[in-house]
Amino acid sequence: MDMQVIPARSEDYNLKDYQKTRENFKWDDVNKHFTWNETGKVNIAYEALDRHAENPAKKDKVALLYSAPGREERLTFADLSKQSNRFANVLKKHDVNKGDRVFLFMPRSPEFYAAFFGILKTGAIAGPLFEAFMEQAVRDRLQDSEAKVLITTPALIERVPQDELPKLETIILVGESGVAHTYIDYHREMAGASDEFDIEWVNLEDGMLLHYTSGSTGKPKGVYHVHNAMIQHYATGEWVLDLKEDDVYWCTADPGWVTGTSYGIFAPLLHGVTNVIRGGRFTPDDWYETLEKNEVTVWYTAPTALRMLVSHGEGALRKYNLTSLRHIMSVGEPLNPEVVTWGLKAFNLRIHDTWWMTETGAQLIVNLPTLEIRPGSMGKPIPGIEASIVDHEGNELPPNQMGNLAIKEGWPAMMRQIWNNPGKYESYFINGWYVSGDSAYRDEDGYFWFQGRLDDVINTSGERVGPFEVESKLIEHPAVAEAGVIGKPHPERGEIIKAFISLNEGYEKSDELLEEIRQFVKTGLSAHAAPREIEIRDSIPKTRSGKIMRRLLKSWELGLPTGDTSTLEE
Ligand code: WT7
């Protein structure tokens, strides 16, 4: 084989022997690292914060190293433990109980993290929303989850359609609002709250988190995760993130997405490791600056970010001292082999691709520090995980054959429900396998290779977008009669969103109209879901049963043969 492989380096990695660990592995053994092993009581907030705050050797260690334009703060484990206690008391005052849904719609800030852990301490279920969401996206999620409390900011409150949210009882605002009397003021409530709180002990299988994500049809779905996920966050923090006591760790993902909670919050804090938080949007220079200034040692980011660094050039890179970096990982989209090769040159480090999904709750197939890297491959399943390639009936396929990437069901961080939608949840499982919807193959040596999505879900800059949501928004615009939305390959962003539309009678094609329609999606749904390209057609191809034929649109776009169009409506 003439494939280039990158050997593991000689560092002292936490996971030394992949094969041996896999062979003897039981998830129950990971349990031994946690207090519930002795007490039978559990709460992920206790394990991530209070446990360290109670430890004299650890309590004054920095948990969050926060910076954003114009604001810098360091919070120790003791600080964050107390502040989340305060917030839990605030929530109790507003009648929040175990199982209630409490949503966060705000940028990354120290208040966000205090509130997030405060929610978990009450036993309620936290629902973090990406700050770029506009009204429609916010409405869909708060309605479906029947959220009782929302924590947001004066700048974002106008995107919350309060009249349409009868279940939403309380809104807590972080920041000056001018209309404070109608809302609860975060800082005033916190000032009056005790920093002691009787944490709500829950069962491992009790809910802690709802992350909404997109499929190819229907509205976004509430992926429900339970406290048990921490076992896998902890284990992968050790094996994949390779966290050690003195590390300074940085995950670039926003907590509105699952990477930003599982690995932007839980994995590092469960290990008691200092976690860098950078608010705001980043440019390549911001990335380098954040790495340098905080002396980051372990960095978890996304292919889009890395590709932007590649195109930003060597000159920019050389302005920074990045010698503290020792371990880099990537997630969310295919990691191009060229980027891996660039990483070797730029940082003298391997970039470790990791594969998982919102539904899986934690990493499953990864490039482990101890294994050789085959650039372009997602790597191998972690200990405790059985992965395979299956056909549409859930039968396993032999090596090198493409099929549906599947995981033997029942790992600790696996979603336990799709909120309010048991049918959808069931549809993920066939014959004992969780079927991912990604097409992939496995080579003879057990390395997995990603090929693409089997459905119409779009992955733009690592963010997952459902075409149906964008189409629904487009046809709300008075000029748009019909819409079909696809992902179009793009060198830096992986895919961009392209919309095909037909116009209603009385509307003429013009650049102004196209821009207006684009803005309509951007301001109504969310910026990352707005089509970068819109093409007008006389009609949009549909099946006789009325389904948009996105596959045909994609073939047109790529100049590919159109395949079977026998179901096409005349
Ligand atoms: C989809 C899941 C939880 C991770 C962040 C995204 C794609 C994820 C990789 C990878 C190629 C990847 C898949 C997957 N994806 N990781 N290493 N290589 N594709 O979570 O928003 O739920 O998206 O992202 O298509 O199904 P998500």
Q: Atom 2 in ligand 1: which residue has the minimum CA distance?
A: 357
Q: What percent of the chain has pLDDT over 90?
A: 87
pLDDT attached to residue 568:
65
pLDDT band at 181 (very low <50, low <70, confident <90, very high): low
For ligand 1, the distance from its centroid to the CA atom of residue 331, given in whole angstroms, is 7
Atom number of ligand 1 nearest to Cα 253: 5
What 8-state DSSP symbol labels residue 507?
Answer: -
Q: Atom 14 in ligand 1: which residue has the minimum CA distance?
A: 357
**Which amino acid is located at 331 in the chain?**
V
Our answer on whether the CB atom of 59 is closer than 6 Å to any ligand 1 atom is: no
If one compares 315 and 275, the residue with the highest pLDDT of the two is 275
- Is the model's pLDDT at 179 over the cut of 80? no
pLDDT band at 1 (very low <50, low <70, confident <90, very high): very low
Our answer on whether the CB atom of 331 is closer than 6 Å to any ligand 1 atom is: yes
The mean pLDDT of 189-217, rounded to a whole number, is 95
For ligand 1, the distance from its centroid to the CA atom of residue 233, given in whole angstroms, is 17
Q: Which of 300, 286, 294 is nearest to 258 (CA)?
A: 300
Our answer on whether the CB atom of 413 is closer than 6 Å to any ligand 1 atom is: no
Decide: 223 and 215 in contact? Cβ < 8 Å. Answer: no
pLDDT attached to residue 505:
93
Our answer on whether the CB atom of 448 is closer than 6 Å to any ligand 1 atom is: no
**What is the C-alpha separation between 174 and 164, in angstroms, rounded?**
22
For ligand 1, the distance from its centroid to the CA atom of residue 357, given in whole angstroms, is 5
For ligand 1, the distance from its centroid to the CA atom of residue 90, given in whole angstroms, is 36
The Cβ of residue 549 has, within 10 Å, a number of other Cβ atoms equal to: 19
Q: What is the pLDDT of residues 506-527, one digit of tens each?
A: 999 999 999 999 999 999 999 9
For ligand 1, the distance from its centroid to the CA atom of residue 126, given in whole angstroms, is 22
For ligand 1, the distance from its centroid to the CA atom of residue 455, given in whole angstroms, is 13
Pocket test for ligand 1, best of 450, 451, 458, 493 (most atoms within 8 A of CB): 450
ipTM over 0.95: yes
Atom number of ligand 1 nearest to Cα 335: 18
For ligand 1, the distance from its centroid to the CA atom of residue 569, given in whole angstroms, is 34
- Burial of residue 415 (CB within 10 Å: 0-12, 13-18, 19+) is buried
Q: Determine the Cα angle at 294 with ends 291 and 300, to 5°.
A: 45
Our answer on whether the CB atom of 34 is closer than 6 Å to any ligand 1 atom is: no
pLDDT band at 565 (very low <50, low <70, confident <90, very high): low
Our answer on whether the CB atom of 333 is closer than 6 Å to any ligand 1 atom is: yes
For ligand 1, the distance from its centroid to the CA atom of residue 358, given in whole angstroms, is 8
Atom number of ligand 1 nearest to Cα 453: 25
Q: What is the pLDDT of residues 476-505, one digit of tens each?
A: 999 999 999 999 999 999 999 999 999 999
The Cβ of residue 552 has, within 10 Å, a number of other Cβ atoms equal to: 22
Our answer on whether the CB atom of 455 is closer than 6 Å to any ligand 1 atom is: no
Q: Which of 349, 354, 357, 364 is nearest to 329 (CA)?
A: 354
Burial 157-174 (b: 16+ CB within 10 A, else e): bebbeeeebeebebbbbb
Atom number of ligand 1 nearest to Cα 378: 17
Q: What is the pLDDT of residues 216-249, one digit of tens each?
A: 888 899 999 999 999 999 999 999 999 999 999 9
For ligand 1, the distance from its centroid to the CA atom of residue 31, given in whole angstroms, is 27
- Is the model's pLDDT at 365 over the cut of 50? yes
Our answer on whether the CB atom of 332 is closer than 6 Å to any ligand 1 atom is: yes
For ligand 1, the distance from its centroid to the CA atom of residue 59, given in whole angstroms, is 35
Q: What is the pLDDT of residues 414-445, one digit of tens each?
A: 999 999 999 999 999 999 999 999 999 999 99
Our answer on whether the CB atom of 221 is closer than 6 Å to any ligand 1 atom is: no
Our answer on whether the CB atom of 404 is closer than 6 Å to any ligand 1 atom is: no
End-to-end alpha-carbon separation of the chain, Å? 50
Q: Which long-range contacts (CB under 8 A, 24 or more apart) does 166-169 make?
A: 167/143, 168/142, 169/94, 169/95
**What is the C-alpha separation between 11 and 326, in angstroms, rounded?**
10
**What is the C-alpha separation between 312 and 5, in angstroms, rounded?**
26
Pocket test for ligand 1, best of 333, 447, 528 (most atoms within 8 A of CB): 333
**What is the C-alpha separation between 361 and 429, in angstroms, rounded?**
16
User: Model's pTM, two decimal places?
Assistant: 0.94
Decide: 242 and 202 in contact? Cβ < 8 Å. Answer: no
For ligand 1, the distance from its centroid to the CA atom of residue 84, given in whole angstroms, is 31
Q: Atom 20 in ligand 1: which residue has the minimum CA distance?
A: 357
Q: Atom 19 in ligand 1: which residue has the minimum CA distance?
A: 333
For ligand 1, the distance from its centroid to the CA atom of residue 469, given in whole angstroms, is 19
**What is the C-alpha separation between 375 and 345, in angstroms, rounded?**
14
For ligand 1, the distance from its centroid to the CA atom of residue 63, given in whole angstroms, is 28
For ligand 1, the distance from its centroid to the CA atom of residue 546, given in whole angstroms, is 30
pLDDT attached to residue 280:
79
State how beta strands 433-442 and 403-408 pair: antiparallel
Q: Which of 424, 308, 411 is nearest to 356 (CA)?
A: 411
Our answer on whether the CB atom of 436 is closer than 6 Å to any ligand 1 atom is: yes
Average pLDDT, the chain: 94
pLDDT band at 331 (very low <50, low <70, confident <90, very high): very high
